[in-house]
Amino acid sequence: MPELPEVETTCRGIAPHVLGKRITEVIVREPRLRQRVPPTFARDVRGRVISAVERRAKYLLLRTDAGTLIIHLGMSGSLRVVPAHQPAGAHDHVDWCFENGLCLRLRDPRRFGLAVWTRGDPASHSLLRDLGPEPLVDLDADALFQRAQGRKAPVKQFIMDSRNMVGVGNIYASEALFRAGIHPARAAGRISRKRYHRLVAAIREVLGAAINAGGTTLRDFVGSEGKPGYFSVHLQVYGRAGEPCHACGTEICLLSLGQRSTYYCPHCQR
């Protein structure tokens, strides 16, 4: 999926097309997503008017007069606004159709994404309830440092755990740790308060830069307008094993943490 910058880009990309629109029809071609789309889904959502489009962590929230649509893009999901008559592709699982002949179309080959309807406050929904602070809004370095005390898990896994903070995926975890000069395997509890401040700053910088650039394109992300590519934040370490560090020339190393590929410079990161 989409890491947080891609979700934010999707949020901004679809908002002008769906805000204020009434959903006239919901088509579920494949309900078997990460959470099964229930039979009641179309009936609940049909007829609702979208009043706000927001992002919380990597979830998109489409608020309406009667409830909220919670959408997650998983590893391979994308949302596009297309003419409703455009033939659906192999992995176009859900359409939300509007009166103007356009529809919001969810595509997700791996089906790790989801689409859920909730009547209550989405913040208290089980999917969102236990999420930590937003890196660009709430995240506090002192609080993160406090939370890390006694933790032996690698800091990379600590910052990727959404209960500690949201929005840091596998690419930007490696990138932020490089920029902060912290070795990804270092125990979260063995990092100074000062270095947590540096780490939080690095996370904000790298996510902010990626959002500004419009999302990093790797593999199958497709923008909300359906344009395949856009930009590139210069990745310093991710995917660069064996290549020279841009700062010192040492070969970038690859290791596995929590069964995820992790890239780092053994000279710059301690």
Partner DNA sequence: CTAAGGACCTGTCGGC
Partner DNA sequence: TGCCGACAGGTCCTTA
Among 57, 177, 203, 245, binds DNA (CB under 7 A): 57
Two structure tokens written together for 153: 């898990």
d(CA 183, CA 268): 8
Among 12, 110, 246, 267, binds DNA (CB under 7 A): 110
List the catalytic residue out of 58, 147, 179, 240. 58
d(CA 91, CA 77): 9
List the catalytic residue out of 2, 5, 154, 184. 2
For 36, counting Cβ atoms within 10 Å of its Cβ (0-12 exposed, 13-18 middle, 19+ buried), the class is exposed
Residue 260 known to be catalytic? yes
Does residue 49 bind DNA (CB under 7 A)?
Answer: no
Does residue 152 bind DNA (CB under 7 A)?
Answer: yes
Instruction: Identify which range of 47-55, 63-71, 96-104, 216-224 contacts DNA by CB under 7 A.
Output: 216-224
List the catalytic residue out of 34, 111, 204, 260. 260
* Distant-in-sequence, close-in-space partners of 133: CB < 8 Å, separation ≥ 6: 139, 140, 143, 165, 166
Two structure tokens written together for 264: 């780092």
Does residue 137 bind DNA (CB under 7 A)?
Answer: no
Decide whether 9 or 23 has the Cβ nearer to DNA. 9
Strands 92-98, 59-64: pairing kind: unpaired
Contact 70, 51 (CB under 8 A): no
Helices (H), the chain: 4-18, 41-45, 141-148, 155-160, 170-180, 193-213
Backbone angles phi, psi at 74, to 5 degrees: 55, -140
Contact letters (x/-) for DNA, 229-268, by CB under 7 A? Answer: -----------------------------xxxx-------
Does residue 92 bind DNA (CB under 7 A)?
Answer: no
Decide whether 48 or 215 has the Cβ nearer to DNA. 215
Point out the residues that are catalytic: 2-3, 58, 260
Q: Which spans of this chain sit near DNA (rule: CB under 7 A)?
A: 1-3, 6, 32, 34, 57-58, 72, 74-76, 90-91, 109-112, 127, 151-154, 157-158, 162, 169-171, 188-189, 215-221, 258-261
